[in-house]
Amino acid sequence: GRAVDGITAAQPPVAATARGAAPSGAGGTASASGTGDPDPATTAEAARELFDTTRYDMGSNAVAFAGSTTANGKGLLLGNPHYPWQGGRRFWQSQQTIPGELNVSGGSLLGTAVVNIGFNEKVAWSHTVATGTPVNLHQLTLDPADPTAYLVDGKPEKMTRREVGVQVAGSTDPVTRTQWWTRYGPVVSNLGPGLPLPWTATTAYALNDPNASNLRASDTSLAIGKARSVAGIQDALRRTQGLPWINTIAADSAGGTLFTQSQVLPRITDELVARCSTPLGRATYPSSGLAVLDGSRGDCTLGSDPDAVQPGIFGPGKAPTLRDAPYAENSNDSAWLANASTPVTGYERIWGNTGTQRSMRTRGAVEDVSAMAAKGGLTVADLQKQQFANRVPAGDLAAADAAKACAALPGGSATGSDGAAVDVSAACGVLAAWDHTADTSSRGALLFDRFWRKLTQNTPVKDLWLVPFSAADPVHTPRTLNQAAPGIGRALADTVTELKAAGIALDAPLGENQFVVRNGEKLPVGGGTEALGVWNKIEAPWNAAAGGYPEVVHGSSHIQAVGWDGSRCPVARTLLTYSQSSNPNSPHYADQTRLFSQERWVKSRFCEWDILTSPQLKVVWPRERR
């Protein structure tokens, strides 16, 4: 999807158009002179940002606990995907039952016919966004006589020209675009802003995306839904290999756990990159996992693994995997710290990195779940507590030091971004008294939230912390806020000015200013943004005129806490944060949103007797009309 515009905009150089090689009216980034090659350093940074899964609003948390950590020896799973609250990527809850074939409950993305995240009698699973880079580029050496032909082992191959037309409302003629295809995939002129890939007289870039031909995701979800154990989920992933960009975390009733990054990735090995990278690829691959291979060499093809279901992708045997650890957790960082006591290593760079700084959310999650596993005796109730603990890891690390830095400002005054002096003395006490949670009742949470966003957006990491990151202690570093960092005073001044201008008290309870409105009812929302590291992730655009954060865009969505108690029925508590219906006239438009606001759950009715005895049961028989 990120490459669509770059594919349709990619056109041969202007000089080639004069010779009739390209269609008229087609734009794109091209050069007849052969100059304009991408700058490796700039492109590497742009690629790092493009493929960094921790910088996007969407994401997920999930943790599986083994029987060795639970009260009854059976597994536990807490799934907490962070997805849009509006639009086509909402989850829809259902239970699908085909007697003797399938019985699975959970959430499905709108438009899909299978349960994507859920549980059955024996196993529960969730997904998180993975760090694998799902595409790669081939740098083409063009035929000097024809920029729509490229050389492979010295022999020219002609590109395939494809015209694609789309009928547009209000127009009698379709809007057409020309695509240029190679043995590696379509020619692409960019991968988004900041990552241009100019088609010059000598060079072009082709995009290899193995998921363009992957239509197996529904097969994978169906097979997972029929699995009876974490081993069965592994087998389902091995047989179908249909997940394009997600990890799988699972627990079963026998006490087993699983983390696996079994996603479809181009078969880019570190050895292939070392042998076949272009100068651009030597910059982009270490930073982001984006390989740029020499397309002029036939020995630089991706090859195949014997256990792969399609050519040019890794087989499941190469996927970073952790089985039966006391806990297995992921919060959108790489597989490395799925269990901090047993780091996962040995995988190719394209799967993700190791030995690098983790996100604040990963650090907080690992701290929480490792402490839970060490305590032991866990039940579904402990999963429910973790979901709504609303601990702010950034607050634990920095709030006390920020309050001290605030109190040390001469005269309690700081200079804002506009150059004006601001009295911030009142903020010092609020930060010092804050309980470091993002509950709706937390006083000081909003002040720290606004301060922390401003500080971290404008202060380099090296200037923010006194103790730098160490791969030997990745969960607890970097740490110790640098109270002398010049950005602290400015961020405090800007935050105080902002809140006062909006009429918001510095110690206002978070829920007064982080909320949603449904049919005129204001529902406070707990949780916090990515930079704060809160497990219960909530992303809401700031709107001072509307009172703060008046609507959630992304965040906790289809939540499930699942275990087993020895009976045939799983013990499951679920919550669809934005509710099942998007129709304001439906009784299910805001019912679960109200529960989410109150930190309450839905008790799942999975077994047939529980369903049939529900006082709210309504049976509808669909029939075909002929």
Active-site positions?
Answer: 60
**3-state DSSP call for residue 494?**
helix
Element holding 272 (H helix, E strand): helix 270-276
Q: What is the 3-state secondary structure (H, E, C) of 346-410?
A: CCCHHHCCCCCCCCHHHHHHHHHHHHHHHHCCECHHHHHHHHCCCECHHHHHHHHHHHHHHHCCH
How big is the CA angle at 571 (ends 565 and 576), to the nearest 5 degrees? 165
CA atoms of 78 and 251, how far apart (whole Å): 9
Amino acid 110 reads L
Residue 292 has what DSSP assignment? Answer: E
Tell me if 188 sits within 8 A of 181, measured CB to CB: no
Q: How many CA atoms lie within 13 A of 565 on its CB side?
A: 8
Tell me if 149 sits within 8 A of 127, measured CB to CB: no
**Phi and psi, residue 67, nearest 5°:** -60, -25
Cα dihedral 50, 248, 331, 93 sign: positive
Cβ neighbours of 353 (radius 10 Å): 17
As separate numbers, helices (DSSP H) first and strands (DSSP E) second, the chain gives 17, 31
